[in-house]
Structure 1
C-alpha cells in the first residue's frame, strides 16, 4: 500500500557532530502536531521507515503528523561515523542529542504539539530525559518493545546477551575502541564505547536506575512525579528477551506513569501476527493491524476506552 507524504532531509548540529534527520509531512494542510521518533541501541532511524518511504513513520505522517526521525550520533547518515575516536556516552544522548532535535522541531513548528514514538533502548533514553525535564510539554508517548533491564532467564538470553553482547562484545570493544555490532553481525549500527558501557551497566543493574555520569536517580524522580505524559507500551509475544512483556511491565512500574497502558501483540489477542522485536515496526500488516491503535492513542484525550482493549 503506497503512502502519500512529502519528505525532506536535514542535519542538526550537536557540538562537532551532525545528526541526520529524515522528515515526513502530510501532503494536506500543514499541522502543528509533531512526532519525534527515537531509535534504540545498535540501530538507526531506518527501523521506522523503508527506502520506499513506507513504515510506521511515513504512515503516521500520512495521517496528519509532522514526523521527525533522526539518526543519533555516528549512526545511519549522521557524521562522523562511530570510531575509536568517538567519546560520547549515554548521558550525551539524553542531555544533548534529544534536546537538539526537540529544539529543531520547535524552531520549525510554531506552538508545536510534541509527541514521541520510540523503539527498544530509545525509550529508555527518552524516559530518562523526561525524568530530568518536568518542564518539557509532551502530549503523548508510544514506547515500542522498551525495557531497561533484562530479568528473563533462558539459554537464548544467556547466549546472545550474556555471552555474545556482554562478554565477547566487551572484548571486541577493547580491540576496536568502539562496540563493533556491524562487524559482529549482531546489529545495524555500531556504538561508541561509552554508550555501550553505560547501556550494559543499566541492563545488569536490575533494581537500580541511576545515571553513570552524574548519579541522577531516575526511579526516585519518577516516584515523586504525577505528570508523566500518558504513555502506551507495546510489545510482541515473540519477544524472547529484548522486549519481553515481563521486562516491559517492570519498566512501566519504574516510570510509574498514572495514565499508561500496555498492549501485547499476538494472534491470541486478535492481531495478524505473533510480533517480534523488529517486525513490530516493519511488518506491512502493521498498517491495518496495530498502527491504527498507535494513531488512536496519539489522538485520544480520554483513556477510558483503553481499559479493556487489547491488553
Structure 2
C-alpha cells in the first residue's frame, strides 16, 4: 500500500462521509521511538465536498481513559465537528494504545514522556506535511499535560504552533505522596497491574497503561519534578511564548482552577488568557472536568469562546479584566 506521507509509513484506513462532514482516518507508523511497533491513529475532519479546502489546522488531544470520541461523537456532535464547520482543518489524534491506535508491544510502560518525545513530534510533522500553516493545539487533561511536556522539553517546536489551548490540565499537589513510605506503597500496589481499567474505575471508556500512573508518582514524590531523567519540563515552560488559552472548571475537583492556574502561570506567553468556567464568572453553571467541553451548555457558551480565540479574538485575562470595585466582567458567550 502506498504511503500517504513522504516522512514515514502512513496508511489511509478509511475515507467516509458523515453527514455534512468528511472523515479521513490515517494510521501513522513513525518508527521514531525505541518501540517500533507504535502506530498512531489521526482523524481528519473537513466539510463534505470541500476536502481540498483547508483552513488553519487544529490538532486535538484527548485526556486519560479517553479517545477521539471525547471530541467527536458518532452523531457528529462535539468541539471537533463544530470547528470543522467553522472552517478549521481539524485533526484528532489518539495516543498509542487508545481508540483506533493499536496497543504497542511495550504498552504497559507507555508514558507522557513517550507522547512528548516521540508521538507529538510525529503528529506535528504529518499534519504540517498535509497543511503547512501553523497549527493550533488543544489538549484536555492528560492531553494538555502532554502538550506542556512536549513544549517544556523542547520536543515540539514552537515555530509551528499558532496557539495552545489547555482544558482542565494541571499538576495535582498530593502532599501525602511526598511521604516516602506512602509513595513506595502506592508504587508497589500499582506495579501489580499492567493496566488501569477505565470502566472499573468509572473514569472513561479506555484503559490506561500503568506506566502513566507510575510516572505521575515520580512527579509527585519528594524531590520529584515534572520532567524525565534528561529534561526538566517545568523549567522549560518558562521559555514557551506561544499564545496560550487555559480553561478551568469551577466544579472540577480533579483539576481545580487553582491547580490549572499554577500550570498556566509557568508559561512565558505574553498573549494569554485564563478562563474559569463558573456561575461567579457569568456562566450557566460551575463546569466539571468533562462538562467544560462535553455538555449542552458548553456548546452554547464555551465552544464559541474557543472558536473566537482560535480566530484571533483576544481579551484580557479575567483576573486583569476587573473594575476598581474588583468585580469581574461577566463572560460573553
TM-score when scaled to structure 2? 0.77
User: For 2:260, what is the secondary structure of its paired residue?
Assistant: helix
Return the alpha-carbon distance in structure 2 between the equivalents of residues 40 and 100 of structure 1.
18
Matched, 1:47 2:38: no
> Residues 115 and 85 (structure 1 numbering): CA distance in 2 closer, same or farther, change over 3 Å?
closer
Residue by residue over 1:22-76, the C-alpha shift from the partner in whole angstroms, topping out at 9 and shown as x without a partner, is 2211345712411111112222222112111211111111101111112101111
Return the alpha-carbon distance in structure 2 between the equivalents of residues 168 and 183 of structure 1.
21
**Could you tell me which residue of structure 2 aligns to residue 77 of structure 1?**
100
Q: What count of residue pairs does the alignment treat as equivalent?
A: 292
**Could you tell me which residue of structure 2 aligns to residue 191 of structure 1?**
208
What are the residue-to-residue correspondences of 1:1-311 with 2, within 5 Å? 4-14=20-30, 15-27=36-48, 28=50, 30-80=53-103, 86-109=108-131, 111-131=132-152, 132=154, 133-150=156-173, 173-202=190-219, 204=220, 209-214=225-230, 216-223=231-238, 225=239, 228-240=241-253, 242-300=254-312, 303=315, 308=321, 310=330
Return the alpha-carbon distance in structure 2 between the equivalents of residues 301 and 280 of structure 1.
20
Q: Which protein shows a greater Rg?
A: 2
How far apart are residue 100 of structure 1 and its match? 1.4
Return the alpha-carbon distance in structure 1 between the equivalents of residues 292 and 86 of structure 2.
19
More helix per residue: 1
Return the alpha-carbon distance in structure 1 between the equivalents of residues 194 and 317 of structure 2.
50
Point out where structure 1 has 5 or more consecutive residues left out of the alignment: 159-165
> Residues 179 and 169 (structure 1 numbering): CA distance in 2 closer, same or farther, change over 3 Å?
farther
TM-score when scaled to structure 1? 0.82
